[in-house]
Amino acid sequence: MRRLFNEHKARKVIELNGAWSFALDSENNGVEKKWYDGIPDGETVIVPSCWNNELRLLNYEGAAWYQKSFETDGGAVMLEFESVMSQADVWIDGVKIGDHYGAFTPFQLFIDDLKCGEHLLVVRVDNILNEKSFPQKRTDWFNYGGIARDVYAHELKGLCIINNHIVYTLSKDLKNANVSADMELYNATGTEITDTVTITVGDKVIFSGEITLGAHERKAFKTSETELCDIELWSCESPKLYTSVASTSTDDLVEKVGFRFVEVSNLDILLNGKKVELLGVNRHDEHPDWGFAFPAKLMKKDIDLIFEMGCNTIRGSHYPNSRLFLDMLDERGILFWSEIPMWGVGFSEKTLTDEFLMERGFVMHQEMVKYYYNHPSIVIWGMHNEIPTYSKDSYPVSQKWSKYLRANGGNRLITHASCHPMYDCDMDFDDIISINIYHGWYTYGGYNGNLGDWNKMIEQFGQRRIEKGWEKKPVIMSEFGAAALAGYHCHFDTVRWSEEYQRDLIEYCLELFHKTDYMRGTYIWQFCNIRTSPTMDINRARYFNNKGLLDEYRNPKAAFFKVKELYNKFAKEGK
Ligand code: ADA
């Protein structure tokens, strides 16, 4: 299940989930052995899934092969993978048809002419982390491998709509929208073709016109603007969605869009002109039994739990989430921060001048925009997390990426999560300043690891933002928290790792940040415990990051109820 709604009525889409044949390639010589012609002695696995959730593959990192047969009526086919972790190489009937790098965004591969009948689809998947990977080897989440989200074969006929961004600007009073479409079209036939493309938003036609494409041509097309009057806005309280249908005589693509305007104004974050305090959590899209192949039903449950806590926002730490999850947030009116998996300590200073890596990161931003543009819930693009933003080499990277996101990413605020607030220079490019600090849990140079450190930090950074000319930018605490082992209690003394220590630290922080004059939001680290990597050697009991407000099976810890109490109180009293 990849969306909450049907994207196609006219187009035939073959679901390729279910039973696949699977073989490990621990010697990494499957290509040499020509496994793309068919893998030997495969065992049956269910796709989508992560292999680390199979027996005895808990820690397997490396290559593995998947294969499945499917039938088509013949003609052009687009294969669509929602997520393969991380490198995918794809063959049909022994012929390589493409590859993709990056675990968390969809990708599409085109075959212009496939014969009618049965075909063998073979995918080599490699989840190795190394000096060229995103994330890098040292990462505080578990590096699952596999085909983790859905797979489809689209049978394409005539002039097809591959992608459609509904682009809009709102009038000053937010009552009307100037709307256009930014499409990617494909001619599935072997001859030139002309067809009428029609695009509706709600019950209004925003474009209808003839378009000509050469044989098997793939082309971007931007329509002119049409005004939609008296639109109903999308907001947290009333998440109004409009259905947009793009169609030709042979093909169609349905999208959901919401009209809203997010901006910053003199320290405030405004949604449709109204102040919002971001009351959020960081969430990994992970479960110990499913890895990153997160089931739809559990997504809904996580969202229910997050709602129950009084949150109005989620940070998708540290990678793009599925389109299905975003559909759910669009429907529920929860704001989302989407970022690429450029994570922390792994990205050392020297990686920032590695052209191959930085290009990889840039492509990840382009893909994130391409596949997620229409989701109104995404109000923040995050460029990276805890990289060395004090170094001169991160500055041009953030400059380039923020410029790209501003020009192409729609109406969204730009940020990066920084753990060096006193040395960071890249905050120049942010709309919102985001700080990750763990006073009361970790010890930092110049601080002694106590809760009292927070006041010192707030004062020092309060000063620095004025010196740097950032005094109008809202500041949010994008990470803070403490680990607690679920069920470990210590009622009479304050003991680290107990549920009470975590609860009290979070209570202290939330109250303090809420009343800090230049702060406008909080994302607690983190929604629930997650499995982490054996390379994370500090403070990771059980190889889990235990800073969840819930344990990894979604049982609440004491802090969950405290957050619920405080977030509901803050929402009532306002900032
Ligand atoms: C960082 C990082 C998180 C997590 C956290 C922690 O801030 O961004 O992914 O690792 O630290 O638990 O220490």
pLDDT digits (tens, 9 = 90+) for 278-292: 999 999 999 999 999
Give the residue from 424, 427, 422 showing the smallest Cα distance to 391.
Answer: 424
CA distance 492 to 51: 44
CA distance 518 to 468: 14
Residue-level pLDDT at 251: 98
Beta bridge partners of 268: 265
Check if the beta carbon of residue 495 is closer than 8 Å to that of residue 568. no
Ligand 1 centre and the CA of 140: distance in Å? 7
> Quick one: CA dihedral 110, 112, 118, 121, positive or negative?
negative
Secondary structure element (H or E) that encloses residue 343, with its range: none
Evaluate the omega torsion of the peptide bond into residue 376 and state whether it is cis, within 30 degrees of 0.
Answer: no
Residue 339 Cβ < 6 Å to ligand 1: no
Mean pLDDT computed over 168-173? 98
Residue 416 Cβ < 6 Å to ligand 1: no
Which of 240-244, 484-488, 489-493 is predicted with the least confidence, judged by mean pLDDT?
Answer: 489-493
Residue 344 Cβ < 6 Å to ligand 1: yes
CATH 2.60.120.260 maps onto the chain at 12-156
Residue 420 Cβ < 6 Å to ligand 1: no
CA distance 269 to 106: 30
Residue-level pLDDT at 472: 98
CB atoms within 10 A of CB 12: 12
Check if the beta carbon of residue 89 is closer than 8 Å to that of residue 123. yes
Residue-level pLDDT at 181: 98
Tokens 């982490």 correspond to 532
Secondary structure element (H or E) that encloses residue 280, with its range: strand 278-282
114-150 as b/e: b if 16+ CB within 10 A: beeeebbbbbbbbbebeeebbbbebbbbbbbbbbbbb
Residue-level pLDDT at 525: 98
Residue-level pLDDT at 298: 97
Residue 546 Cβ < 6 Å to ligand 1: no
Backbone phi, then psi, for 477, in 5-degree steps?
A: -90, 105
What is the fold of 12-156? Answer: Jelly Rolls (2.60.120)
Residue-level pLDDT at 346: 80
Ligand 1 centre and the CA of 539: distance in Å? 11
Q: What is the DSSP letter of 92?
A: E
Side-chain half-sphere exposure of 127, counting CA atoms within 13 A: 22
pLDDT digits (tens, 9 = 90+) for 420-475: 999 999 999 999 999 999 999 998 877 878 888 999 999 999 999 999 999 999 99
Residue 536 pLDDT exceeds 80: no
Ligand 1 centre and the CA of 436: distance in Å? 8
CA distance 197 to 252: 9
Residue-level pLDDT at 268: 98
Among 525, 537, 538, which is best to mutate for testing ligand 1, by the most ligand atoms less than 8 A from CB? 525
One-letter amino acid at 508 equals Y
Which atom in ligand 1 lies closest to the alpha carbon of residue 547? 12
Which atom in ligand 1 lies closest to the alpha carbon of residue 419? 7
pLDDT digits (tens, 9 = 90+) for 318-362: 999 999 999 999 999 999 999 999 998 789 999 999 999 999 999
Give the residue from 550, 553, 526, 530 showing the smallest Cα distance to 541.
Answer: 530
Mean pLDDT, the chain, whole residue set: 96
Residue 532 Cβ < 6 Å to ligand 1: no
Residue 292 vs residues 82, 103, 284, 302: alpha-carbon distances, Å: 12, 10, 9, 14
> Quick one: CA dihedral 392, 454, 317, 567, positive or negative?
negative
Mean pLDDT computed over 194-206? 98
Evaluate the omega torsion of the peptide bond into residue 135 and state whether it is cis, within 30 degrees of 0.
Answer: yes
- For 499-556, the DSSP string reads HHHHHHHHHHHHHHHHH-TTEEEEEES-SB-EE--TT--SS-GGGEE---SB-TT--B
CA distance 48 to 35: 21
CATH 2.60.40.10 maps onto the chain at 159-250
Mean pLDDT computed over 558-573? 97
Which atom in ligand 1 lies closest to the alpha carbon of residue 441? 13
Enumerate residues 6+ apart whose C-beta is below 8 A from 534: 59, 543
pLDDT band at 494 (very low <50, low <70, confident <90, very high): confident
Which atom in ligand 1 lies closest to the alpha carbon of residue 526? 12
Residue 537 pLDDT exceeds 80: no
pLDDT band at 2 (very low <50, low <70, confident <90, very high): confident
Residue 189 pLDDT exceeds 90: yes
Secondary structure element (H or E) that encloses residue 75, with its range: strand 75-81
Check if the beta carbon of residue 346 is closer than 8 Å to that of residue 163. no
* CA-proximal residue: ligand 1, atom 4 (nearest): 140
Residue-level pLDDT at 52: 97
Which atom in ligand 1 lies closest to the alpha carbon of residue 317? 9
Residue 547 Cβ < 6 Å to ligand 1: yes
Ligand 1 centre and the CA of 245: distance in Å? 41
Whether domain 159-250 has CATH 2.60.40.10: yes
Give the residue from 159, 112, 122, 104 showing the smallest Cα distance to 36.
Answer: 122
> Quick one: CA dihedral 324, 325, 326, 332, positive or negative?
positive
Among 436, 480, 538, which is best to mutate for testing ligand 1, by the most ligand atoms less than 8 A from CB? 436
pLDDT digits (tens, 9 = 90+) for 16-33: 999 999 999 999 999 999
Residue 72 Cβ < 6 Å to ligand 1: no
CATH class of 263-573: alpha beta
Per cent of the chain over pLDDT 70 is: 100
Beta bridge partners of 172: none
CA distance 403 to 406: 5
Mean pLDDT computed over 56-79? 96
- Full-model pTM: 0.98
Tokens 């590859």 correspond to 99
Secondary structure element (H or E) that encloses residue 328, with its range: helix 323-332
Residue-level pLDDT at 511: 98
* CA-proximal residue: ligand 1, atom 3 (nearest): 140
Ligand 1 centre and the CA of 514: distance in Å? 22
Which atom in ligand 1 lies closest to the alpha carbon of residue 532? 10
Residue 535 pLDDT exceeds 80: no
